[in-house]
Structure 1
Amino acid sequence: MTCNRLMPAMGVPFARHLRVALALGVAGAVLSGCGGGSMFGSSSDSSPSIGSRFSQIFGSKSQAVGEAAPPPVDNELSCPPVSIRAGAATYAVAAAGKQPIGNDLRFQATITRTARDCTKTGDQITARIGIQGRVIAGPAGNPPTVEIPLRVAVVQGGVQEKTIATKVYRTTVSMADGDSVPFSLVAEDMVYPVPQGADGDSYIFYIGFDPQALTPEPKPKAARKKK
């Protein structure tokens, strides 16, 4: 069973496990800062170069979750801000038939950093959205690999939101390197029409985990033959 909500009742064993994992993450960030590299420089994704690709594309133009995006420079095209969709900030998976809380939690993924840039070609805008995060193993144990489903959407905000474009992306994370493993994904093919007038001021890039994307679509029922 999956759940993409924050779980307040993790239980004492997992809380201790989580504190240790986060401490390791902070230590890794400090060491990477001393070496001039990135905490996410090496990726646990099935593609070993995707973490470095995040850095190659966005450089220092990324922000931690909750931070304001850096302003555009020179003639750089301004992009909508990136925001995590409410209720989609975490992805928690439990042992079969269990709820993802306490000792039944197998793993939990969170988003920690984002980035974006935009290119205008004619009447279309192509956006590249970078997402970095971390997968932490739970007390119930984790599989050798974890598939992370993420949805990226271009939305026009307002009283009634309007979805302009949306797409699901998946990345596979190897858990062989430890109980707290970073992941990285760059969505490079989000294309949408250039907004009219001031409409673009209300555009948002919404991101978040989408467990439903891992569920196969039901096969259509065969039509019954008339007797």
Structure 2
Amino acid sequence: MISAIPAVSGKTLKTIMAVGLSAAALAGCMSAADGVAGKVISGGQQPIEISPETFAPPVPCPALQLQSNTFLIRKYVRGKDDDPQGLLYQATVKDWANTCTQQPDGSRRMKLGLSGDVTSGPAWKGGEVVLPMRVAIVPGGSGAKPLSSEIVKIPVTLGANSPSETWTLIEEKFTIPAGADAKVVFGFDEGRRR
């Protein structure tokens, strides 16, 4: 009778036991979805619904272009232009970025971000500086008339003899018409000098 049962070595027995225990554990996990094992596998939370817009390709945005010679403003005391001791402040544009979202009518709404620094000069007594930034949406063709153009005022508080202050503009009011091949041109605009 003993010869009818095949001999199993210790190594084979351990393998059979490991496979059996693993199968039992997996079966327990499958049947106990509301139990501890099910909560561990699902993270203990309800499934998260993900919006299809999460994986949608980005909406193309127009290129940004800093207008030539408009990255710097130097403001002097009247009658002391180009005198270093008459410098009130100087402001620069340093960084820019944009993102766009598609609108139901086919147009694109642009979120524009610009930033830079304002540094006080020897003649500055402290107070608020208002920086004039022109933003124009221009068609792709050369010499074309802007689709829109406006000056956005950026207030910056600057103390006397203070280190430079960073200014930031984030504006979401610009719209690019449907089908328009355009670029966004920006820069400081002091208007006509007297």
5 Å-filtered alignment, 1:197-216, equals: 200=181, 203-212=182-191
1:101, distance to aligned residue in structure 2 (A): 4.5
Task: Give the Cα separation in 2 of the matches to 1:130 and 1:172.
Answer: 15
| Pair 1:172-2:151 in alignment | no
1:133, distance to aligned residue in structure 2 (A): 0.4
Change in Cα spacing, 1:118 to 1:99, as seen in structure 2 (3 Å) is: same
Q: Which fold has the larger relative contact order, with Cα–Cα distance below 8 Å and residues 6 or more apart in sequence?
A: 1
Secondary structure of 1:206's partner?
strand
Task: Give the Cα separation in 1 of the matches to 2:82 and 2:164.
Answer: 17
Structure index of larger Rg: 2
| Pair 1:150-2:129 in alignment | no
5 Å-filtered alignment, 1:39-50, equals: none
After superposition, the CA RMSD in angstroms is 2.3
| Pair 1:128-2:111 in alignment | yes
| Pair 1:116-2:98 in alignment | yes
Task: Give the Cα separation in 2 of the matches to 1:128 and 1:195.
Answer: 18
Q: Is the 8 A contact 1:155 1:206 kept in 2?
A: yes
Change in Cα spacing, 1:140 to 1:77, as seen in structure 2 (3 Å) is: same
1:194, distance to aligned residue in structure 2 (A): 1.5
Q: What is the aligned residue count?
A: 137
Task: Give the Cα separation in 2 of the matches to 1:168 and 1:102.
Answer: 28
Q: Is the 8 A contact 1:100 1:106 kept in 2?
A: no
Q: Is the 8 A contact 2:120 2:159 kept in 1?
A: no
Q: Is the 8 A contact 1:165 1:192 kept in 2?
A: no
Gaps of 5+ in 1: 1-72, 214-227
1:74, distance to aligned residue in structure 2 (A): 4.9
TM-score (norm 2): 0.63
Aligned residues: percent identity?
Answer: 25
Secondary structure of 2:85's partner?
helix
Gaps of 5+ in 2: 1-54
Q: Is the 8 A contact 1:149 1:209 kept in 2?
A: yes
